[in-house]
Amino acid sequence: MTVSRPWRIGLRVVGLGYLALLLLVPVGLIFYRTFEHGVGAVWASITTPAAIHAFQLTLEVTAIAVPLNTLFGIVMAMALARGEWRGKGLVNAIIDLPFAISPIVIGLSLILVYGARGWLGGALADAGVQVIFSVPGIVLATIFVSLPFVVREVTPVLKEVGDDQEQAAATLGAGGWTTFRRVTLPSIRWGVAYGVVLSVARCIGEFGAVSVVSGKISGQTETLTLLVEKRFSNFDLAGAYAASALLALIALGTLLAMTAIKPRREEGDT
């Protein structure tokens, strides 16, 4: 199909125009609105105690959720790509659920298990542990929504590289752990890295599920995305833009990391 030049340019203009109107102009405007009153005001607004705490909490939650999901993701990907077992199809389907379910439903589901009147609520209250309207609830919600990323990035890479080298290592007398560390891990590392980047972005950016379970207590259970919403509802538009710009910067950093990792992942570069 060799499209004539006018057609090609026409399609290009339509495609890029759509992208510009939907993506670029809005995001550019966020930065413009943020900095229209000067950098000083922005700095003051992202260094208030509430904002600093929100930023710290967001990073803490991410630092707990991402390693756990990475570990789970690698183990599960190995089982899915290398093993044959009963229930594999079912597990495969369940792993995709967090992508398909509304974050609000995820938040509600956690309340129904860990809330005051939930399945485990009584036992947890007796033990003096508060999950809902507290940090553990935010962590659980974040783990839930970011669960599939590493599995879904690593499984295809494992299938692509095959198990010839692993079998060779085993034949030469390497144990399971040595084979994994010296042969498997190096060949999947860019896939893992890509999955980790996607997970981090999702953890930092999660809003719906976290907003249901957090209770939004300023300085305690307020993450960065919740801070944006609260400032907006309190008519602190400049503050909402400043926090948004910070999140948008993190998103741009994510895009850079994705762009840097993607070709390596696809070439299976080791």
Partner 1 sequence: MSALAVRVGGTVSRRFHTGALGLGVATLWLSVIVLLPLSAVVVRSLDGGLGAFWDAVSSRQAVAALRFTVLVSLATAAINVVGGTLIAWVLVRDQFHGKRVVNALIDLPFALPTIVAGLTLLTLYGPRSPFGINLAYTQVAVLLALLFVTLPFVIRSVQPVLIELDREMEEAALSLGAGNATIFRRIVLPNLVPAILSGAALAFARAVGEFGSIVLISGNIPFRTQVSSVYVFKLIESDAPTSAAAVSTVLLLVSLAVLLGIRGLGHWGARHDR
Residues 218-257 interacting with partner 1 (rule: CB under 8 A): 224-225, 228-229, 232, 240-241, 244, 247-248, 251-252, 254-256
Among 67, 122, 176, 186, binds partner 1 (CB under 8 A): 176
How far is Cα 261 from Cα 240, in angstroms, rounded to an integer? 31
Tokens encoding 202: 């999702």
What's the closest the beta carbon of residue 243 comes to partner 1, in angstroms?
9
What's the closest the beta carbon of residue 85 comes to partner 1, in angstroms?
7
Among 42, 154, 212, 261, binds partner 1 (CB under 8 A): 212
Residues 27-46 touching partner 1, rule: CB under 8 A, are: 27, 29-30, 33
Chain position carrying tokens 């084979």: 179
How far is Cα 16 from Cα 24, in angstroms, rounded to an integer? 10
Residues 50-109 touching partner 1, rule: CB under 8 A, are: 72, 75-76, 78-79, 81-85, 91, 93-109
Among 45, 70, 179, 199, binds partner 1 (CB under 8 A): 179
Residues 105-144 touching partner 1, rule: CB under 8 A, are: 105-113, 117-119, 140, 143-144
Which range touches partner 1 (CB under 8 A), out of 37-45, 128-136, 154-162, 185-193? 154-162
In angstroms, the Cα distances linking 87 to 81, 96, 154, 228 are 14, 15, 20, 42
How far is Cα 58 from Cα 196, in angstroms, rounded to an integer? 16
Q: Among candidates 125, 194, 121, which has minimal Cα distance to 156?
A: 194
Give 44 or 174: the residue with its C-beta nearer to partner 1: 174
Among 147, 188, 193, 196, binds partner 1 (CB under 8 A): 147
How far is Cα 245 from Cα 238, in angstroms, rounded to an integer? 10
How far is Cα 82 from Cα 84, in angstroms, rounded to an integer? 7
Q: What angle do CA 116, 122, 123 make, to 5 degrees?
A: 135
Which range touches partner 1 (CB under 8 A), out of 35-43, 128-136, 188-196, 200-208? 200-208
Tokens encoding 91: 């597990």
206 binds partner 1 (CB under 8 A): yes
Q: How many residues contact partner 1, by CB under 8 A? A: 99
Which range touches partner 1 (CB under 8 A), out of 36-44, 48-56, 127-135, 163-171? 163-171
Give 44 or 112: the residue with its C-beta nearer to partner 1: 112
**What is the four-CA torsion angle of 117, 118, 120, 125, rounded to 10 degrees?**
-30
How far is Cα 64 from Cα 59, in angstroms, rounded to an integer? 9
What's the closest the beta carbon of residue 8 comes to partner 1, in angstroms?
6
How far is Cα 46 from Cα 241, in angstroms, rounded to an integer? 10
